[in-house]
Amino acid sequence: MTVLVTGARGKVGRAVLERLHAAGRPVRAASARPAELAVPAGVVGVELVLNRPATFAAALEGVRQVFLYPEPAGIDAFTAAARAAGVEHVVLLSSSSVLAPGAESDPLGAHNLRVEQALAVSGLPTTLLRADAFASNALGWCAAIGAGLPVELPYPEASLAPVHPADVADVAVAALSGPELRGRAVTLTGGQRLTLREQVGVLADVLGRPVPVETVTRAEAERQLGRFMPAPLVGSLLSFWAAASTTPATIGDTTRTLLGVPERTFHQWATEHAAAFTAG
């Protein structure tokens, strides 16, 4: 029973692929750029581009489960092809942004909602993993911290419950391996509330040196983030941080509540990735 893992070059997708393969499950790695895939020996990589339906049939042949990254372009054609190929279950890496008030008119919320809705209409059995902010978003501070500069934040007191991408992968693998999470929508967070300022503080502890935080205007943050992200998504992110500055983060479903194992902490993530914050 082959599992097709999309996003196999991504942090979560690669971890899902490796865990399933290590457990002896037949897996296929899908990427828009299969030549750049680094997959375990014995795993086949295929091209899958969600807005190119011509790539679907070969990727889906013999597949019964899919780990799916949310991409609205081509999603209806993809679900139709998946049904035709005999897919029985889709685990979607969605986002908690779908639960925010006004999600339909927020670019990030709408992006993920569109995919959730297409899956619902398709009738394919699903598990929706609505992940909250990833711990790995802190990689956006690498350049500043590595250069010994302050981390510039428009909303340093934004309260989050960052989830370690490996926790997301563990829940995805559980969803792909047993019936417990089939048909469910879960909101994945870490087990601990931290403001963005506190996340920087954890990184400072791990690195053994002070890392100052400088508050910047929303307009300045828009300019900076706009170099790496499409403008509508920058707006979504900044509005999310603004709202999170006045409301403490909610701890949702975690590896502890879903799998009975402790959540990985932000400190653990920071320790694992400390080298990324050191000028090379």
Ligand X SMILES: NC(=O)c1ccc[n+]([C@@H]2O[C@H](COP(=O)([O-])OP(=O)(O)OC[C@H]3O[C@@H](n4cnc5c(N)ncnc54)[C@H](OP(=O)(O)O)[C@@H]3O)[C@@H](O)[C@H]2O)c1
Q: What residues are paired with 28 via a beta bridge?
A: 4, 44
Of 17 and 206, the one with the shorter C-beta distance to ligand X is 17
Q: 3-state DSSP call for residue 210?
A: coil
- What is the C-alpha separation between 179 and 184, in angstroms, rounded? 10
- Least distance between ligand X and beta carbon 31 (Å): 3
Considering the rule CB under 6 A, would residue 9 count as an interface residue with ligand X?
A: yes
- For position 99 contacting ligand X by CB under 6 A, the verdict is no
Count of residues that interact with ligand X, criterion CB under 6 A: 19
Q: Which is nearer to ligand X, 32 or 142 (CB)?
A: 32
Strand spans (E) along the chain:
2-5, 27-31, 44-47, 63-68, 89-95, 126-131, 151-153, 159-160, 185-188, 194-195, 213-215
Q: Decide whether 32 or 259 has the Cβ nearer to ligand X.
A: 32
Candidates 27-35, 38-46, 73-81, 255-263: pick the segment binding ligand X (CB under 6 A).
Answer: 27-35
> How far does Cα 68 stand from its chain's mean position?
11
For ligand X, the binding residues in 109-148 under the rule CB under 6 A are: 131, 133-134, 136-137
Residue 33 CB coordination number (10 Å): 10
> Contact between 264 and ligand X (CB under 6 A)?
no
Closer CB to ligand X, residue 207 or residue 229? 229
Q: Packing angle between helix 107-122 and helix 75-85, nearest 10 degrees?
A: 30
Minimum gap (Å) between residue 5 Cβ and ligand X: 9
Q: Label the pairing between strands 63-68 and 44-47.
A: unpaired
Q: How far apart are CA 30 and CA 166, in angstroms?
A: 19
Looking at beta carbons only, is 132 or 174 nearer to ligand X? 132
Per DSSP, helices labelled H in 183-254 are 196-207, 218-225, 231-244
Which residue from 74, 165, 191, 252 is in contact with ligand X, where contact means CB under 6 A?
165
Is 7 a binder of ligand X (CB under 6 A)? yes
Q: Least separation, in Å, of the C-beta of 198 and ligand X? A: 17
**Minimal distance, residue 111 CB to ligand X, in Å:** 7
Chain residues binding ligand X by CB under 6 A are 7, 9-13, 31-33, 69-70, 93, 95, 131, 133-134, 136-137, 165
